[in-house]
Amino acid sequence: MNRISMARPSWDDEMRQAAVATLDSLHWVKGPQGKAFGKEFSEYCNAVQGTPCQSGSVALWGALRLLEIGPGDEVLVPSLTYIATATCVSLVGATPVFVDVEPDHWCLDLDALEAARTPQTKAVIAVHLFGQMCDDALPTWCQQHGIAYIEDAAQAHGAVAGSGIKAGGIGDVACFSFFPSKNLAVGGEGGMMVTRREDLAARMDALVNHGRDQRLESHELGSNLRMSEVSAAIGRIQLKRLEGWLARRRTIADRYAEAFQGLPGVVVPEVRPATEHAWHQYCLLVDEPEHLRNILEEANIDSRVYYATPIHRQQVYAGHEQFNTTLPVTDAIAHRLVAVPVHHQMTDDEVQRVIDAVVASTR
């Protein structure tokens, strides 16, 4: 019986041909593939500019640099997310302020944001967690208070807000990851910054190229954060496939929701009304996470817990004033979110195996 993995990177002849053709061109950096990928991806998100870069973490750092956030500034972030959401803030010298999440959708809680806001608050990094879009009221709240809105869309390629706008077309800057487990990948590490603001678009490409202009003169602090041409060529092909892959993920998620609804000790993830979830992960909130994981392991099925230790309780932030702070929702669910496979390459038989294992765990 084959093992059902959490993710399977997609690779086909068209991607292979695009990669080889790019290598054969001997134009491996700063060429037409990166420019085209940035343009096509930004158009997909309904943004004005897209700049490929080395990773989603780099994209987050770049977003903060574009918005001129640094020492003395505070950035509101969820603690229930991947560590890069907070460490990018620390790396530019600003202070991450950890905020609780919603009890139902697990994204940043608007009331908690308001309680955490201070005169030093310069930005919010809103994580569309697992592919779930954040509250549609968040951009308006940010505008009212003069706070920059950064979308951490590393898990949300193709997710759609209640407004009908895709992830990436809402915030001042949005950041995507193309790590192999993501909904869209580039044959290795990769990321993308996109913006809907013309004033930031003019600087975005320069930032990933040492802050240089067309005359190769550096006007601001940047670095070599570029994506390779080969990765961009692969990403362009994957982007053409993305909507079909998302449709399959949503079909699988619908099957799970129907099968798991009402199981004792299991809470099925809710989808925010009028939105379209991207289902990077399908996480069940369970009373006995280790028991479920043991049953899945016996059935030769991968699973993961997201995120067992909230960021504000990790040792990198042992000196942070919130290290021992209680975030009630985050602390209650962080060790109980068990992800089961939901990737687009799963067969119907594999989906049924996951269903059978989860149901068996509740008997």
Q: Which two tokens stand for residue 174?
A: 């949005």
At 108 the three-state DSSP class reads strand
Domain with 249 in it: what CATH number? 3.90.1150.10
Percent of the chain surpassing pLDDT 90? 93
- One domain for residues 229 and 278: no
pLDDT at site 265:
97
- One domain for residues 219 and 254: no
- One domain for residues 215 and 282: no
pLDDT at site 299:
98
- One domain for residues 36 and 140: yes
Q: With the CA atoms of 281, 157, 55 and 31 taken in that order, what torsion angle do they form, in degrees rounded to the nearest 10?
A: 150
* In a domain? residue 8: no
Q: Averaged over 105-115, what is the pLDDT? A: 98
- One domain for residues 55 and 188: yes
At 238 the three-state DSSP class reads helix
Which residue has 């898990």 as its token pair? 155
Q: Averaged over 194-202, what is the pLDDT? A: 94
Contact 225, 193 (CB under 8 A): no
Summarised one tens digit per residue, pLDDT across range 292-344 is 999 999 999 999 999 999 999 999 999 999 999 999 999 999 999 999 999 99
Q: Give 131's pLDDT tier (boundaries 50, 70, 90).
A: very high
Q: Which domain holds residue 165?
A: 13-238
Summarised one tens digit per residue, pLDDT across range 143-193 is 999 999 999 999 999 999 999 999 999 999 999 999 999 999 999 999 999
- One domain for residues 116 and 221: yes
Q: Which of 192, 214, 238 marks a domain boundary?
A: 238
Judging by beta carbons within 10 Å of its beta carbon (0-12, 13-18, 19+), is residue 56 exposed, middle or buried? Answer: buried
What are the CA-CA distances from residue 207 to residues 66, 176, 202, 216 (Å)? 8, 16, 10, 12
* In a domain? residue 3: no
Q: Compute the C-alpha angle 12/17/20, nearest 5°.
A: 125
Other CB atoms within 10 Å distance of the CB of residue 306 = 20
Burial 218-241 (b: 16+ CB within 10 A, else e): eeeebeebbbbbbbbbbbbbbbeb
- One domain for residues 215 and 256: no
pLDDT at site 137:
97
* In a domain? residue 302: yes
Summarised one tens digit per residue, pLDDT across range 1-53 is 899 999 999 999 999 999 999 999 999 999 999 999 999 999 999 999 999 99
- One domain for residues 68 and 206: yes
* In a domain? residue 223: yes
pLDDT at site 331:
96
pLDDT at site 300:
98
**Whole-angstrom distance, CA of residue 202 vs CA of residue 205:** 7
pLDDT at site 216:
67
**Whole-angstrom distance, CA of residue 162 vs CA of residue 251:** 20
Q: Which of 212, 238, 264 marks a domain boundary?
A: 238
pLDDT at site 155:
98
At 192 the three-state DSSP class reads strand
Number of structural domains (the chain) is: 2
**Whole-angstrom distance, CA of residue 114 vs CA of residue 99:** 10
Contact 38, 237 (CB under 8 A): no
Q: Which two tokens stand for residue 23?
A: 């290598």
pLDDT at site 221:
74
- One domain for residues 180 and 276: no
- One domain for residues 196 and 91: yes
Summarised one tens digit per residue, pLDDT across range 75-97 is 999 999 999 999 999 999 999 99
E-state strands within 234-361 = 266-267, 282-286, 304-305, 337-340
Q: Which of 189, 221, 238 marks a domain boundary?
A: 238
* Mean pLDDT computed over every residue of the chain: 96
**Whole-angstrom distance, CA of residue 164 vs CA of residue 140:** 16
Q: Is residue 214 predicted with pLDDT exceeding 80?
A: no
**Whole-angstrom distance, CA of residue 134 vs CA of residue 128:** 6
* In a domain? residue 5: no
Name which of 342, 261, 224, 352 is nearest 299 in CA terms: 352
Please give the model's pTM, rounded to 2 decimal places: 0.96
What are the CA-CA distances from residue 335 to residues 44, 117, 310, 312 (Å)? 35, 27, 9, 14
* In a domain? residue 319: yes
* In a domain? residue 42: yes
